[in-house]
């Protein structure tokens, strides 16, 4: 699923504009309530396929699919040390020690669900059926990709990454990066909850930024230190390409079944608000192996 980040973001901005317009019309008509209705869903057959672009090296690894049920309301990137609201629960893979009281020391010493010893944490809001039942993914893939324009450098330890905006529904969507699809047509990507044909999986895709400023592991908005590539795939001046993380989460959702992600109040469970975070705690030797794999154009696991 290697797509040009710049082209994907341009297409996404148009899709977001249409999505926000539809949502506004629905609200004005009194249609959109706290459960997602009408404009939040789209039949995947009505979504235009996006062409794939030149590939790069890739490195895929297994961190499970949260079979252990590691969930809580903490956000160790945005609000460390504080519990979040009960209606906004996160799913985790990777580091098994993440909770409200997590520290750098406790995370570094924590066990992990990753088979290769990666102690990083990866997390996003849970997905529920409209009746409230949290859905455990049926599969979950973590993949690092290289950069089409330049070699990548190692991610620094404790680098924080963020994609998407939990408040996108009410703040205009400038930072929204929702990507939804179906397993039978992953090239059809949408900003809305997809209605997939029977037997197919609902896909949730998190494509993280991959241009690092070379200095910081975090920033006040948790984004300025790690930004998206420019159109064409190159990184902005004074930034360095690092491995690009893509997480694909698949769910078994029956055709016609309503579902939604956890969201803050006033966000109305909009698919626009989907988001995810990571904190890099990979062993140095593993990160070096990933960089070698990507820069030599290999497909590694």
The answer to whether residue 15 scores a pLDDT higher than 70 is no
CA distance 297 to 136: 33
> What pLDDT was estimated at residue 13?
52
Neighbours of 33 (CB within 10 A): 11
Answer whether 191's CB lies under 8 Å from 176's CB: yes
Q: Report which DSSP code applies to 48.
A: P
Where are the chain's structural domains? 5-300
pLDDT band with cut points at 50, 70 and 90 for residue 256: confident
pLDDT tens digits for 43-101? 999 999 988 766 789 999 999 999 999 999 999 999 999 999 999 999 999 999 999 99
Instruction: For residue 93, list its beta bridge partners.
Output: 122
Instruction: For residue 207, list its beta bridge partners.
Output: 246
Two structure tokens written together for 251: 């769910």
> What pLDDT was estimated at residue 53?
66
Residue 249 CA, distance from chain mean position: 9
Neighbours of 140 (CB within 10 A): 22
Global pTM? 0.87
pLDDT band with cut points at 50, 70 and 90 for residue 29: very low
- Helix %, strand %, coil % of the chain (to 5): 20, 25, 55
Helix (H) or strand (E) holding 58: strand 58-61
182 CB-near residues (< 8 Å, 6+ apart): 44, 188, 194, 196, 197, 200, 201, 202, 203
CA-to-CA dists, residue 181 to 139, 178, 186, 286, angstroms: 14, 10, 6, 31
């Amino acid at each position: 699923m290697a797509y040009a980040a710049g082209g994907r973001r341009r297409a996404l901005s148009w899709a977001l504009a249409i999505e926000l317009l539809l949502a506004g019309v629905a609200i004005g008509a009194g249609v959109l309530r706290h459960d997602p209705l009408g404009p939040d869903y789209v039949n995947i057959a009505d979504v235009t396929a996006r062409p794939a672009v030149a590939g790069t090296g890739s490195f895929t690894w297994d961190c499970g699919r949260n079979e252990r049920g590691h969930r809580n309301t903490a956000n160790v990137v945005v609000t460390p040390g504080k519990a979040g609201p009960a209606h906004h629960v996160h799913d985790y893979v990777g580091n098994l020690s993440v909770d409200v009281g997590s520290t750098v020391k406790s995370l570094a010493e924590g066990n992990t669900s990753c088979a290769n010893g990666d102690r990083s944490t990866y997390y996003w809001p849970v997905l529920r059926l409209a009746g409230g039942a949290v859905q455990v993914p049926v599969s979950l893939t973590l993949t690092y990709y290289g950069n089409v324009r330049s070699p990548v450098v190692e991610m620094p330890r404790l680098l924080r990454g963020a994609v998407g905006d939990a408040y996108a529904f009410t703040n205009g969507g400038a930072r929204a990066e929702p990507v939804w699809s179906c397993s039978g047509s992953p090239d059809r990507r949408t900003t809305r909850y997809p209605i997939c044909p029977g037997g197919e999986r609902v896909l949730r895709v998190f494509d993280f930024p991959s241009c690092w400023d070379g200095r910081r592991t975090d920033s006040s908005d948790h984004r300025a230190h790690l930004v998206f590539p420019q159109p064409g795939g190159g990184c902005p001046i004074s930034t360095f390409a690092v491995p690009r993380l893509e997480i694909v989460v698949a769910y078994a959702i029956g055709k016609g079944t309503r579902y939604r992600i956890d969201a803050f109040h006033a966000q109305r469970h909009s698919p626009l608000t989907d988001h995810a975070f990571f904190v890099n705690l990979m062993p140095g030797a593993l990160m070096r192996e990933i960089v070698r794999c990507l820069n030599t154009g290999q497909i590694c696991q």
